[in-house]
Amino acid sequence: MKISAFILCYNESLMIRHTLNYYSKFCSEITILNNNSSDNSIEIVQNEYPNVKIENFGIENSFREDTQTELKNNCWKDSDADYVIVCDMDEFLYAEDLESKLNLLDKYRPAIGSVIGYEMFSKKFPKNYNVSLLDQVKYGIRSYRFDKSVIFNPKKVKNINYDYGAHTCLPDFYDKRAEDILIEFKLLHFKYLSKKYLYRKHLKYTNRLSKINIINEWGSEYREGKKHIDNKFKIAKKHIFKIIP
């Protein structure tokens, strides 16, 4: 079975090795969708992951949610893969027995994989790239916002029709018969990896917010600055539990 991943990137030099090391284990192809990265993210890919494709997008050097959503809705359409994964750099499609779940996909070929979302937390950013991120960050909280349809069959899904942020979608299918095969994965959102890391990252995102984002309040959490991040860690402290065995 061929799986192709399409992964969004803007200045992900600290995260990109973790992500590519993970998806390289089971994806036949990986494409980095680069939105004007100004750090060494792309150099890391070119020097260390020569089989990973890079596609640049974004005419203006700003964060535009509408542009990113349009890209996620269309970047996979020429793929000949059996399944595509469309995600952000900090989103890991996961199952405790991932190989078995992928074998079930290969056997039954549902249009869309079922996804249960979690937000993962760590006090320090894990910089050991020789060890899987899943072995370094195991705790998180349940997040319904991340029940995102990130894996689907491009031979059955005509249009995925993500809404802004890709948190919801209204897909169109080539075959309109109902799908009754439910194969469940987890989506681990490795965003909250140290406050200091996020303080810097959110400030950069705030400075790149486009006018259309500000008008529509897309990415409003970035404008909240430290308050949003501190509140997330406060909530996690009360509700965190072990997600990865």
Question: Amino acid identity of 42?
Answer: I
Q: Where are the alpha helices (DSSP H) in 16-56?
A: 16-23, 41-48
Please give the pLDDT value at position 65: 87
The full set of domains in the chain, from first to last, is 3-242 (3.90.550)
- pLDDT tens sequence for the chain (245 residues): 999 999 999 999 999 999 999 999 999 999 999 999 999 999 999 999 999 999 998 767 778 888 899 999 999 999 999 999 999 999 999 999 999 999 999 999 999 999 999 999 999 999 999 999 999 999 999 999 999 999 999 999 999 999 998 999 999 999 876 566 889 999 999 999 999 999 999 888 888 877 878 777 788 888 888 999 999 999 999 999 999 99
Q: CA-based Rg of the chain, rounded to a whole angstrom?
A: 17
**Which residues lie across from 4 on neighbouring strands?**
29, 84
Please give the pLDDT value at position 66: 86
Question: Amino acid identity of 162?
Answer: Y
Please give the pLDDT value at position 179: 61
Residue 13's alpha-carbon distances to 10, 39, 45, 82, 223, in angstroms, are 9, 7, 9, 30, 22
Please give the pLDDT value at position 2: 98
Do residues 205 and 219 make contact, with C-beta atoms less than 8 angstroms apart? yes
At 202, phi and psi to the nearest 5? -65, -35
β-pairing verdict for 241-242 and 139-142: antiparallel
Residue 53's alpha-carbon distances to 39, 41, 113, 135, 201, in angstroms, are 18, 13, 24, 27, 25
